[in-house]
Every structure is written in structure tokens, then in C-alpha cells.
Amino acid sequence: DTEVTQTPKHLVMGMTNKKSLKCEQHMGHRAMYWYKQKAKKPPELMFVYSYEKLSINESVPSRFSPECPNSSLLNLHLHALQPEDSALYLCASSTRTGENYGYTFGSGTRLTVV
């Protein structure tokens, strides 16, 4: 079982809809991430939150809006998406302990924009 929980697992939305993706972790990790992954491609970083503050925005279009309500939760609000935004959206978390640390990924939300 993954320790990073993402909901929903699947989402189909129209281009005029507003929806939100949710991510939760209870590992005490203070960094949380949103990644987008297209088929047969590596994950692409979208946002990083460090200690509940937005640390990195990889020039993501404003139709994607992240939110970190507390240290355990991360949301991604979606509005007016395009079909090319269809992808697997992965949440991850990490903690910095020593020089080696890795991410723990959630199982992802498979998003289809119609």
C-alpha cells in the first residue's frame, strides 16, 4: 500500500469544468510535489511545496492551481483544461535526511479532458 494517497484515481472532465485533485500523506514529509506524466514519458515536475509554501512553479499554466492547506495535504485545482492536459497526475512527498532521499509517489490520478 502506498503511503501517499491520491483521489480520485480516475477523472473525466469537460473543458469548462472545475475539479480538484487531492493528495494526502502522514509520513511527516515537509516537501510535496505535483508531477504530470504522459504515456511513455518520464514524470514532469509541476509544483513543489516546502513547509507548506510554494517553492517551485515550473511555469505551469494558470489553469492549474496548487494549494497546500496543511503539512499533510496537497490539492491541485483544475479549471478550463485542454485535451492535451490529459495525463497521469502524480503527487509525491519527501523529507531531507542526509544527502540521499527519494520521493514517495502516490498512485496517481488518471485525468481525461474531453
Partner 1 sequence: RKEVEQDPGPFNVPEGATVAFNCTYSNSASQSFFWYRQDCRKEPKLLMSVYSSGNEDGRFTAQLNRASQYISLLIRDSKLSDSATYLCVVNPGTNDYKLSFGAGTTVTVRA
Binding residues vs partner 1 (CB under 8 A): 2, 31, 33, 41-43, 45, 48, 50, 55-56, 88, 90, 94, 96, 99-108, 110
Contacts of residue 51, Cβ cutoff 8 Å, sequence gap at least 6: 30, 31, 71
CB of 50 or CB of 86, closer to partner 1: 50
CB of 43 or CB of 66, closer to partner 1: 43
Handedness of CA 49, 69, 88, 79 (dihedral sign): negative
* Cα–Cα dist 5/107, whole Å: 7
Report the nearest approach of partner 1 to the CB of residue 64 (Å): 18
Q: 91 with 66: CB under 8 angstroms?
A: no
CB of 44 or CB of 67, closer to partner 1: 44
Report the nearest approach of partner 1 to the CB of residue 100 (Å): 5
